[in-house]
Amino acid sequence: MIGLENIEKRFGDHTVLKNVSVEIDEGSVMALVGPSGGGKSTLLRCINLLEIPTSGTVRIGSDALTFHPGSKVATSAIQKLRRQTGMVFQNFQLFPHRTAVENVMEGLTTVLKWPTGRARERALELLDKVGLAHKADAWPATLSGGQQQRVAIARALAPSPKVLLCDEPTSALDPELAEEVVEVLSQLAREGTTMVMATHDLRLASTIARQVVFLDAGLVVETGPAREVFKNPQRERTKRFIATLTQEAKGGHD
């Protein structure tokens, strides 16, 4: 359903992604893991074209765009593909001057031009799904980090995207608040939401992901079913990385 073929991304002379190809099945969850600077967040942002690949093909459903160095793709084509995705950012990015329900409604009313009543109904339904119906009229500043991230998840789900993209969704949270977010994402995974997440949170990746892609220095080092990659990694580089994550998790500061 989602395919990235031969994706290369360069910033000037620096190549961040080198010929990366991955496929994500509908209803599946893929975790992109690897060290900081390895390319996982850049790859995630190439799916919704917040980062435009230097070359390669991005496919979501029946829509595909191919990029070549020096050539431009029409903005309308980029927006069409982007609208099939929902994005959850590391630092929530809620509008501080909008209540929780207004944050979830925003894209529906401004981008999709839904009538206010219909948008509010959809927003309340999603806030209930993430366990925050009672906080519908709260301002972001009065919410905990975990609650803000759950509002952000509801907002990303509002237009019913084909894929939910999560960029380090728990890394700005302490372990207790992160647990709330892991539970919401776990529930979405059980319901068959297609997700791709860039994360260094071993608990999140091992709990939710069906597939894992380990990226280092812009290359896919290892890929496979999450259980196998985490319990029995084949590559030495993957083994070292997972050992580090496991130690961090045991230390309680993931």
pLDDT in tens, 120-138: 999 999 999 999 999 999 9
Cross-strand partners of 166: 88, 197
DSSP, collapsed to helix, strand or coil, labels residue 114 as coil
Superfamily for domain range 2-84+164-251: P-loop containing nucleotide triphosphate hydrolases (3.40.50.300)
Spell out the domain ranges in the chain: 2-84+164-251, 93-160
Rounded Cα gap, residues 182 and 95, in angstroms: 23
Is the CB of residue 164 less than 8 Å from the CB of residue 88?
yes
Burial 142-161 (b: 16+ CB within 10 A, else e): ebebbbbbbbbbbbbbbbeb
**pLDDT digit string (tens) for the chain, length 254 residues:** 799 999 999 999 999 999 999 999 999 999 999 998 899 999 999 999 999 999 999 999 999 999 999 889 999 999 999 999 999 999 999 999 999 999 999 999 999 999 999 999 999 999 999 999 999 999 999 999 999 999 999 999 999 999 999 999 999 899 889 999 999 999 999 999 999 999 988 888 988 999 999 999 999 999 999 989 999 999 999 999 888 877 776 665 44
pLDDT at 252: 55
Return all residues near 178 (Cβ < 8 A) that are at least 6 apart: 146, 170, 201, 203, 204, 254
pTM of the model: 0.94
Distance of CA 245 to the CA centre of its chain: 20
